[in-house]
Chains A and B, each alone.
Chain A
Amino acid sequence: MAALAQDEAAPMVRRAHLARQTLVFSGLLTLFAVAFVVSLCVGRFAVPPARALELIWLGATDPWRELATIDERIVLLVRAPRVVLAALAGAGLALSGAALQGVFRNPLVSPDILGISQGAAFGGALGIMLGIWGFPLISMVFLSGMAAVVLVGLISRINGRSETITVILSGLVVSSMFSAVVSLLQFVADPNTSLPAIVYWLMGSFATATWERTLIAAPGLIIGGAFLWMLRFRLNILSLDEAEAQSLGAKTNRERWMVFGLIAVIVGSQVAVSGIIGWIGIVIPHASRLLVGHDHRALLPASVVLGAGFMVIIDTLARTATAAEIPLGVITALVGAPIFAMLLRNHYRERNGS
């Protein structure tokens, strides 16, 4: 809305706006690049930064080289896939959050609202209990996440269309249903093996990242993200009032479900390889909105870059702060909640002041 208004303003203002956006984006990109490189250089295994940089260079220029020494394998087989996966997952979650908040015209929704996370959690917990690992587990998680969204769709579709409020409530219903089953699975799980595994998985982690897992998750995250980016104009329209959007020719119901479907693919792919990671999908879009405004053409890329950078930083903390891996859910909430509270207060103070 703000962007639309600015489009009609004087060229001077537009140029100033453009300069500001450029500055913000170059800042975000620098932040991400620095976080990315630094996190490849740090870890529990001591690799001198210069050597790590050399290894990254070698890995980037000659990716099929035989990796014989331990430091090469640590940097290129443990850290690199993990950092790439964290960046992709952070970007995907933030992007989904931004899109979803637009569609629902509600700043409080996060990708969890569609029941995907809890549905996927059910698949994961069941898989771990049945002793399934690796690719079958990942597909099981992804499919159960999809099933949850389909279920939300079926429940919320009344007389051929679904209102946003019924979608939110159906999401709530499906979520709580799946989380009850997850609790049940935890109750019957073996306390020596599967129970801690389920609990840890529910708190989210990239500790198991390998290139294989990264490549499994990447297509869903990248393709889903690309399609959402293609829908950026649609998202601007969908974030308007329902009647207004329809008067602009939007088939709101169909387009909304297109967005939900893409988000389900993104979040499903993320949860499948790294468990449930909260807060990114709500904190990052808000922070991005403060930086670049409400226009989805700027908001989506800003969320992607900021989400990727933030996730990489959080995950680096998780794996380096102590000898033990700290679950991501713990850090994202500890860091995310105060930032969110601060943003919230600033936002409403400004609004009340103006």
Chain B
Amino acid sequence: MLPDDVTGRGFNMVSLTRFASRGLLAAALSGLLAHGAAAQEITFKDQENREVKLAKAAERIVSIVIPMASTVIALDGGTKKLVGMNPTAKSAVLEGILSKIFPETKDIPSDVTAPNFVPNIEALTATNPDLVIQWGGRGNDIVAPITNAGLNAMLILYGTEQLTRDYMTMTSKAIGKPERIKELVDWRDRVQKDIEAKAKAIPDDKKPSTLYIARALSEIATTGTKGSYNAWYMELVGGRNASAELNGTVTINKEQIAQWDPEIIFLNAFEAKLDVNWVYNDPILSLTKAAKNKRVYKMPLGGYRWDPPNQESPLAWMWTANLTQPDVFKYDLRAEMKTAYKTLYNYDITDADIDGILWMKEQGGSANYVQFKAK
């Protein structure tokens, strides 16, 4: 009880100074809330094994981690609880479908952190968050300012599907909706198991080499297999990571791509100006098997970019699966997207929305892409 009382008073102090005019009311209200919520205190261990203690379900969340901003919206089924996000997350929201589903997202502040995850403590404190989601495993310098300001930090780790499910579960618990996560994790599990079962029968010599290009426009970067989520799902769906010999995300040259001669190329969704013509117009890349067979695809941008782990990952796997092993996987992606967007955002996605997300206009002519056309 005592520590909660202390945080409660601290909170009142902040309220009093920040809202001097309505200080009394705010103090009375938050005192009431703190008292009423004491029974539902939430404690859990985050992925850096720190204890996170919330007096009540978090109502105001800031995500410094980029993909988690849209995940918080999906977990809550709305934008009410997200009070701050990374500028790079905001650009995904503005470029993508979320700004259409939830127009109010464009007013959520993104000045709480620099894109490189260094928080701006004053701006962060001004949003008055009761939970701040931050990356773990990147040193204490980006965490200490948050905790020193008396804010609650929850640290999460990047890389695997398991970690993703764990931190999504943790977040849904923190926002007081533990029941919500089950259907999302069940969905991930169901799709993953289904893909695994079907992919098991694929012999190794039928697995095409696939290359994910993480950056293309300034220099070309791609990623090794270890610790890469992209490589993980490319192999899950029956592909072979062409750049498996690399370690982490590193810069390579076109000659190296020619040497690997990948059968499929996936381009990142991060670079807005990048499309498949980057490959087709290049004298070297246009001679790869992928380009000759028109198997070059840019990753879709839905509620978030489909490349990294996020709330829509199963859709990304199904999309990748249908394109990597068209004879094995025949998911009805449009139908899956309709169901998923209803579940995730309570939104009835239109055919035009789907066309935009899948870049039908830009890459509708690619091999095996006709299956995604509206019927």
Name A residues whose Cβ lies closer than 8 Å to a Cβ of B. 43-46, 67, 69-70, 73-74, 77-79, 128, 131, 133, 186-197, 200-201, 205, 207-208, 319, 323-325, 327
With A73-B284, A205-B251 known as contacts, the answer to whether A323 contacts B243 (CB < 8 A) is yes
1/0 per position for B255-283, CB-CB distance to A under 8 A? 11011000000000011110000000001
Residue in B88, B249, B259 whose beta carbon sits within 8 Å of that of A190 in the complex: B88
Of all chain A residues, the one with the shortest Cβ separation from B243 is A323
Question: Do B259 and A324 have beta carbons less than 8 Å apart?
Answer: no
B220 interface hit (Cβ, 8 Å): yes
Question: Do B218 and A128 have beta carbons less than 8 Å apart?
Answer: yes
Question: Do B259 and A189 have beta carbons less than 8 Å apart?
Answer: no
Residue in B246, B271, B273 whose beta carbon sits within 8 Å of that of A324 in the complex: B246
Min CB–CB distance A272 → chain B (angstroms): 14
Question: Do B251 and A200 have beta carbons less than 8 Å apart?
Answer: yes
Question: Do A77 and B284 have beta carbons less than 8 Å apart?
Answer: yes
7 more A-B contacts (CB under 8 A) besides A190-B91, A192-B88, A196-B221? A73-B283, A189-B116, A191-B115, A194-B218, A197-B215, A207-B253, A323-B250
Q: Specify which chain B residues have a CB less than 8 angstroms from the CB of A191 in the assembled complex.
A: 66, 88, 115-117
Question: Do A187 and B219 have beta carbons less than 8 Å apart?
Answer: no
Question: Do A205 and B115 have beta carbons less than 8 Å apart?
Answer: no
Question: Do A189 and B243 have beta carbons less than 8 Å apart?
Answer: no
Min CB–CB distance B118 → chain A (angstroms): 7
Min CB–CB distance B219 → chain A (angstroms): 5
Residue in B87, B255, B271 whose beta carbon sits within 8 Å of that of A79 in the complex: B255
Question: Do A325 and B283 have beta carbons less than 8 Å apart?
Answer: no
Q: Specify which chain B residues have a CB less than 8 angstroms from the CB of A187 in the assembled complex.
A: 114, 116, 118
Name B residues whose Cβ lies closer than 8 Å to a Cβ of A. 66, 87-88, 91, 114-118, 215, 217-221, 243, 245-247, 249-256, 258-259, 270-273, 283-284, 287
Residue in B66, B215, B284 whose beta carbon sits within 8 Å of that of A196 in the complex: B215
Question: Do B284 and A188 have beta carbons less than 8 Å apart?
Answer: no
Q: Specify which chain A residues have a CB less than 8 angstroms from the CB of B283 in the assembled complex.
A: 67, 73, 77
With A189-B115, A323-B243 known as contacts, the answer to whether A46 contacts B259 (CB < 8 A) is yes
Of all chain B residues, the one with the shortest Cβ separation from A68 is B287
Question: Do B284 and A78 have beta carbons less than 8 Å apart?
Answer: yes
CA distance A207 to B220 in the complex (A): 9
CA distance A37 to B283 in the complex (A): 22
CA distance A45 to B256 in the complex (A): 6
Residue in A46, A128, A192, A325 whose beta carbon sits within 8 Å of that of B66 in the complex: A192
Q: Specify which chain A residues have a CB less than 8 angstroms from the CB of B116 in the assembled complex.
A: 186-187, 189, 191, 195
Question: Do A324 and B251 have beta carbons less than 8 Å apart?
Answer: yes
Residue in B218, B272, B273 whose beta carbon sits within 8 Å of that of A197 in the complex: B218
Of all chain B residues, the one with the shortest Cβ separation from A47 is B255
Q: Specify which chain B residues have a CB less than 8 angstroms from the CB of A319 in the assembled complex.
A: 253, 255
Min CB–CB distance B308 → chain A (angstroms): 9
Of all chain B residues, the one with the shortest Cβ separation from A201 is B218
Q: Specify which chain B residues have a CB less than 8 angstroms from the CB of A78 in the assembled complex.
A: 253-255, 284
CA distance A162 to B217 in the complex (A): 42
CA distance A7 to B228 in the complex (A): 67
Question: Do A70 and B252 have beta carbons less than 8 Å apart?
Answer: no
